[in-house]
């Protein structure tokens, strides 16, 4: 039986371990994917750190998967062997709950999440539902494509939720913000990047991508903003962001987990400021964004790690040791 390699989380708060295991067979509706690259997302850190409830255990993390179709399960007709595909966080939605039936499969009552409730992409092979996988361009580097699958897609959903305003703040200038900033600037918006106050490297990086201003999240930007998206998992940024948006401005929380939000005076929300969160993604978000991404000419900054260095990649993400995105290449 052919073997695959995978980095496996047995228990939260323990390091991933490299395992050899049999290559799984795709069930009806599934595809087997030979993985070319898998991005390392902050959500993976939340899974590993035990900050998200009830993961499947043991679990292979990773939900920014780029690979080639290596086998087709019964009934799969939308892909051919060898096609390059991408697999995102939303691995499956039930299709029958009230959310699925109202175009909100991102809120499905019975979802499957890649790398959380189904094994993901920190491996040489994985299984995915063919209907929740997307054909990807052949002519791009796999590692530079992988971060589009979550940082890009959930970033895009957050960006749409932020509305049409011209002055956009981004809190936490990591993988998602570095993609979104380029999309926003391509669309003629002005980007204001907020980082940890001491993180001048990220501020320089944001300016190099075209941000009109970059500074610490404790600083006031030179003007009031139309909207802000918070990607950093820091609840204290919520009142900080409300304080820098205009009347009627919107603050979007783009992450799956955040530390507690400190109490704040009502005047920060007053004057029709809005605060909302973004959960997961729909396939429509993916089709939309994967069409826009090549046109926006996004330059992806990636740091590559071999598969067996996944723990180092997670640690570097935790410590903010690189700009852009980390990607595992098996
Ligand atoms: Zn559903
Ligand atoms: Zn993610």
What are the pLDDT tens digits along the chain (330 aa)? Answer: 789 999 999 999 999 999 999 999 999 999 999 999 999 999 999 999 999 999 999 999 999 999 999 999 999 999 999 999 999 999 999 999 999 999 999 999 999 999 999 999 999 999 999 999 999 999 899 999 999 999 999 999 999 999 999 999 999 999 999 999 999 999 999 999 999 999 999 999 999 999 999 999 999 999 999 999 999 999 999 999 999 999 999 999 999 999 999 999 999 999 999 999 999 999 999 999 999 999 999 999 999 999 999 999 999 999 999 999 999 999
Query: If you measure from the C-alpha of residue 106 to the centroid of ligand 1, how many angstroms do you get, rounded to a whole number?
Result: 8
The bound ligand whose nearest atom lies closest to the alpha carbon of 148 is 2
Smallest-distance ligand from the CA of 257: 2
Rounded Cα gap, residues 194 and 217, in angstroms: 5
Q: What separation in Å is there between the alpha carbon of 45 and the centre of ligand 1?
A: 26
Angle at 138 between CA 134 and CA 304, to 5 degrees: 90
User: Measured between alpha carbons, how far apart are the two ends of the chain, in Å?
Assistant: 20
- Other CB atoms within 10 Å distance of the CB of residue 22: 10
pTM of the model: 0.95
Sheet with 274-277: strands ordered across: 213-216, 190-195, 167-171, 225-230, 245-253, 274-277
Helix or strand (DSSP H, E) at 20? strand 17-22
Q: Which tokens sit at 100?
A: 């699925």
How many Å lie between the centroid of ligand 1 and the Cα of residue 114?
16
Asked whether the beta carbons of 174 and 231 are under 8 A apart, the reply is yes
How far is ligand 2, taken at its centre, from the CA of residue 193, in Å? 20
- Of the ligands numbered here, which is closest to the C-alpha atom of 151? 2
Q: Which ligand is nearest to the CA of 280?
A: 2
CB 176, CB 151: distance < 8 Å: yes
Q: Give the CA angle between residues 11, 17, 22 to the nearest 5°.
A: 105
Of 112, 131, 126, 113, nearest to 36 (Cα)? 126
Instruction: Count CB neighbours of 103 within 10 A.
Output: 9
From the CA of 326, the nearest ligand is 2
What is the Å distance from ligand 1's center to 229 Cα?
27
Q: Which ligand is nearest to the CA of 43?
A: 2
CA 40 from centroid of its chain's CA atoms: 9
């Amino acid at each position: 039986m052919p073997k695959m390699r995978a980095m496996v989380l047995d228990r939260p708060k323990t390091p991933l371990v490299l395992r050899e295991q049999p290559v799984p067979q795709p069930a009806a509706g599934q595809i087997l994917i030979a993985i070319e690259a898998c991005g390392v997302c902050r959500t993976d850190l939340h899974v590993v750190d035990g900050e998200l409830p009830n993961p499947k255990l043991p679990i292979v993390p990773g939900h920014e998967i780029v690979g080639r179709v290596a086998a087709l399960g019964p009934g799969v007709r939308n892909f051919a062997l060898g096609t390059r595909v991408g697999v995102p966080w939303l691995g499956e939605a039930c299709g029958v709950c009230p959310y699925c039936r109202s175009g909100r499969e991102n809120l499905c009552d019975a979802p499957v999440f890649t790398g959380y409730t189904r094994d993901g992409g920190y491996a040489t092979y994985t299984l995915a539902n063919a209907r929740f996988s997307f054909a990807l361009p052949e002519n791009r580097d796999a590692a530079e494509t992988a971060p589009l699958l979550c940082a890009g897609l959930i970033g895009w959903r957050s960006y749409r939720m932020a509305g049409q305003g011209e002055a956009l703040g981004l809190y936490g200038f990591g993988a998602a913000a570095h993609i979104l900033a380029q999309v926003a600037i391509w669309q003629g918006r002005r980007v204001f990047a907020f980082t940890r106050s001491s993180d001048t490297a990220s501020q320089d990086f944001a300016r190099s991508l075209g941000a009109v201003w970059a500074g610490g999240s404790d600083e006031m930007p030179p003007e009031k903003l139309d909207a802000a998206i918070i990607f950093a998992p820091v609840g204290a940024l919520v009142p900080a962001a409300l304080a820098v948006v205009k009347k009627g401005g919107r603050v979007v929380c783009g992450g799956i987990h955040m530390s507690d939000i400190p109490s704040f005076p009502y005047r920060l929300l007053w004057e029709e400021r809005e605060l909302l969160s973004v959960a997961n993604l729909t396939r429509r978000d993916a089709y939309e964004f994967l069409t826009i991404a090549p046109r926006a000419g996004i330059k992806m900054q990636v740091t590559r790690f071999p598969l067996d260095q996944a723990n180092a990649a997670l640690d570097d993400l935790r410590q903010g040791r690189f700009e852009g995105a980390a990607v595992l290449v098996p």
